[in-house]
């Protein structure tokens, strides 16, 4: 059985506000004032309902009822377009979700083969 490829599956992306505290997790520059200013910007964006200010992101790969997912928390981006810029985390997450999906399909195939 061949592995599924990206063109074979449907990818979805979801983002929701991360419950990880912003303070102490957004930046560790070594300069407390710089870190606080950055955290303040994130918190202000969150106060205005901007989920991309501090998001937990899930990329899901689906094929015929099988699913593979990858998650990343503590994400701070302008918006979805910024997150999905080629060469970033989104590409890596799609590959990991696809890997997980292929593993799930492989396990199911192996289990079905035992039914003989």
Structural domain span for residue 66: 6-113
Going by C-beta distance under 8 Å and a sequence separation of 6 or more, which residues neighbour residue 93? 57, 59, 70, 72
Each residue's pLDDT tens digit, 72-94: 999 999 999 999 999 999 999 99
What is the structure's pLDDT at 64? 97
More confident call, 116 vs 103: 103
Predicted TM-score of the model (pTM) = 0.90
Is 38 part of any domain?
yes
Q: What is the dihedral of CA 106, 109, 113, 115, to 10 degrees?
A: 130
Is 1 part of any domain?
no
Closest CA to 4 of 104, 110, 116, 79: 104
- Is 116 a residue whose pLDDT tops 80? no
Average pLDDT over residues 42-58: 97
What is the structure's pLDDT at 3? 96
What is the structure's pLDDT at 5? 98
Q: Tally the domains of the chain.
A: 1
Quick check: helix, strand or coil at residue 111? helix
Is 90 part of any domain?
yes
């Amino acid at each position: 059985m061949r592995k599924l490829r990206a063109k074979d599956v449907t990818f979805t992306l979801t983002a929701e506000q991360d419950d990880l505290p912003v303070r102490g997790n957004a930046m560790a520059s070594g300069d407390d004032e710089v870190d606080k200013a950055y955290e303040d910007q994130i918190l202000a964006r969150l106060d205005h309902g901007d989920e991309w200010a501090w998001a937990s992101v899930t990329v899901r790969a689906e094929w015929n009822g099988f699913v593979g997912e990858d998650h990343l928390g503590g994400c701070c981006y302008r918006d979805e377009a910024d997150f999905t810029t080629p060469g970033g985390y989104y590409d890596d997450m799609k590959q990991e979700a696809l890997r997980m999906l292929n593993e799930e399909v492989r396990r199911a195939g192996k289990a079905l083969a035992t039914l003989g």
